[in-house]
């Protein structure tokens, strides 16, 4: 019975975990067990190799599908024939057999496939900004911890003055093949990890990886009008690829803070504006401060009611990478005064004495309906 630990258990994730969850779990464990943080600890080094091997499988959709179906047997030598040859029902290439099962190629042999597999990982950075910054746009510095080319070996992974040689396990192909019963399985060469070459004398600074952890500061250009959840891609600013392979990308995910006054829906800004009952009755004008620090004049028509929305064209959020702006919608809230002077009360009493009901048709209509309802009930 196999004593190999399940890849999902190694990475401490569920079998249903998505790619982002698996990547996050790997990065957390890799930082914990990295040899540089545990010098001289064989157990940590073995654990680091194991989780790296598990992640190398599960990060690839097709390799993961093969592992989910066949387990460790999908990536091991052994089985009937114990080699590449007959007995596979006419399939002579791994790509052919997985194209039949999954509808596509598998593994990606050759130099192009090896280089693609060694490409540095993409990274995610969550950046919180204010609504004002989203409105105006801004260039912001961010600091990240990321792998970068080793300066001592110039990213080659080899001690200066030494070189590399062709891997004897895979004869420079980067892949080894083995027959597993009906299937011919191709996997990354365990000796060169897909590079096709092995380093004679690994660099002591990077342990042959050609990259080291480094903290760097980047400048992020946030265009005006961005919204919550938008992302910005910085090409080549992700993890450094192994031994000169291309670096991954860095994705900046934007999170816009809740604003004290405005709410947003796309390019439309919403706010609530209280107005006095006299302004609501007589009409007038209020000033609303915009996100660009310019005041916006909103005209209040006479007799406006609470809840009425007034739209100001072109006073909303900018269109990202485009022209123009959205609208601002101001919802009027008529405020009833609570602190009246004696003079104000006297004036209001005089006004009430002149009321006929025509001034407030909604109130008059409501009470008229109530009166009719009660008369119908008493008949």
Asked whether residue 270 falls in the same domain as residue 137, the answer is: no
Q: Is residue 306 part of a domain?
A: yes
Residues 345 and 237 in one domain: no
Give yes or no: residues 159 and 252 share one domain: yes
Looking at the fold, whether 120 and 242 belong to one and the same domain comes out as yes
**Cα gap 153→196, rounded to integer Å:** 19
CATH number at residue 218: 2.60.260.20
Based on the number of CB atoms within 10 Å of its own CB, is 184 exposed (0-12), middle (13-18) or buried (19 or more)?
Answer: buried
| Residue stretches of the annotated binding site | 150, 153, 167, 170, 189, 192, 203, 206
Domain span at residue 137?
112-163+200-257
Closest CA to 181 of 74, 65, 69: 74
End residue of a domain, out of 242, 257, 272: 257
Within a domain: 64: no
Last residue of a domain, one of 236, 257, 278: 257
Residue 60 lies in a domain: no
Measured CA to CA in angstroms, residue 106 lies from 62, 97, 119 at distances of 6, 9, 17
Residues annotated within a binding site for Zn(2+): 150, 153, 167, 170, 189, 192, 203, 206
Pairing of the two strands 328-335 and 268-276: parallel
**Does 124 share its domain with 241?**
yes
Q: Do 292 and 345 sit in the same domain of this protein?
A: yes
The DSSP symbol for 91 reads -
For residue 205, tell me if it sits in a domain: yes
For residue 243, being part of any structural domain is answered with yes
Last residue of a domain, one of 257, 275, 295: 257
Q: Does 348 reside within a domain?
A: yes
Asked if 238 and 140 sit in the same domain, the reply is yes
Considering all CA atoms of the chain, what is the largest pairwise distance in Å, rounded to the nearest integer? 111
Same domain, 268 and 350: yes
Q: With beta carbons less than 8 A apart as the criterion, state whether 261 and 132 touch.
A: no
Residue 301 domain flag: yes
Q: Are residues 215 and 141 in the same domain?
A: yes
Q: How many domains does the chain have?
A: 2
- What stretches of 259-360 adopt beta strand conformation (E)? 263-265, 268-276, 284-289, 295-300, 309-312, 328-335
Strand order in the sheet with 231-234: 123-129, 250-256, 231-234
Q: Alpha-carbon distance 7 to 37, whole Å?
A: 23
Tens place of pLDDT per residue across the chain (379 aa): 345 788 998 899 988 888 889 998 998 898 888 877 888 888 888 888 889 888 988 988 888 888 887 777 766 543 333 333 333 333 334 444 344 344 443 444 444 444 434 688 899 999 999 999 999 999 999 999 888 888 888 888 888 888 788 888 888 888 888 766 667 788 888 887 777 888 888 888 888 878 888 899 999 999 999 999 999 999 999 988 877 778 899 999 999 999 999 999 999 999 999 999 999 999 999 999 889 888 999 999 999 999 999 999 999 999 998 889 999 999 999 998 888 999 999 999 998 899 887 777 766 555 566 666 666 556 5
Confirm whether 74 is domain-assigned: no
Q: Which residues contact 160 (CB under 8 A, 6 or more apart)?
A: 152, 153, 203
CA separation for the pair 374, 363 (Å, rounded): 17
Say whether both 251 and 323 belong to one domain.
no
Write phi, then psi, for 240 (nearest 5 degrees). -65, 140
Q: Is there a single domain that holds both residue 244 and residue 148? A: yes
Instruction: Give yes or no: residues 239 and 153 share one domain.
Output: yes
CA 243 to chain centre: 28
Q: How far, in Å, CA of 232 to CA of 250, rounded? A: 8
């Amino acid at each position: 019975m196999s004593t190999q630990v399940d890849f999902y258990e190694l990475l401490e994730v569920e079998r249903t975990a998505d790619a982002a969850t698996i990547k996050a779990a790997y990065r957390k464990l890799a930082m914990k067990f990295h040899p540089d943080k545990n010098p001289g600890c064989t157990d940590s080094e073995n654990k680091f190799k194991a989780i790296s091997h598990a992640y190398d499988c599960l990060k690839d959709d097709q390799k993961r599908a093969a592992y989910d179906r066949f387990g460790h047997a999908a990536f091991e030598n052994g089985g009937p024939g114990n080699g590449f040859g007959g007995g596979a029902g006419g399939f002579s290439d791994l790509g052919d057999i997985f194209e039949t099962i999954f509808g596509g190629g598998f593994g990606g042999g050759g130099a192009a496939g090896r280089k693609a597999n060694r490409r540095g990982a993409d990274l995610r950075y969550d950046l919180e900004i204010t609504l004002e910054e989203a409105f105006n746009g801004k260039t912001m510095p961010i600091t990240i911890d990321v792998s970068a080319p080793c300066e001592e070996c110039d990213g080659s992974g080899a001690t200066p003055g030494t070189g590399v040689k062709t891997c004897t396990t895979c004869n420079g192909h980067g892949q080894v093949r083995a027959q597993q019963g009906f299937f011919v399985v191709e996997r990354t060469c365990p000796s060169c990890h897909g590079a096709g070459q092995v380093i004679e004398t690994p660099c002591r600074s990077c342990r042959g990886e050609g990259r080291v952890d480094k903290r760097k500061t980047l400048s992020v250009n946030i265009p005006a009008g961005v919204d919550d959840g938008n992302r910005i891609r910085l090409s080549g600013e992700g993890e450094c690829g192994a031994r000169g392979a291309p670096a991954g990308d860095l994705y900046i995910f934007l999170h816009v803070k809740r604003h004290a006054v405005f709410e947003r829906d796309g390019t439309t800004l919403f706010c609530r504006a209280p107005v006095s009952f006299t302004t609501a009755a007589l009409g007038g004008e209020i000033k609303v401060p915009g996100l660009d620090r310019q005041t916006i004049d909103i005209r209040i028509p006479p007799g406006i009611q609470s809840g009425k929305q007034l739209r100001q064209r072109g006073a909303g959020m900018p269109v990202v990478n485009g022209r123009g702006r959205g609208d601002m919608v101001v919802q009027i809230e008529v405020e009833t005064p609570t602190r009246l002077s004696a003079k104000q009360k006297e004036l209001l009493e005089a006004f009430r004495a002149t009321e006929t009901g025509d001034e407030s048709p909604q109130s008059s209509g409501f009470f008229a309906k109530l009166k009719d309802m009660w008369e119908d009930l008493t008949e």
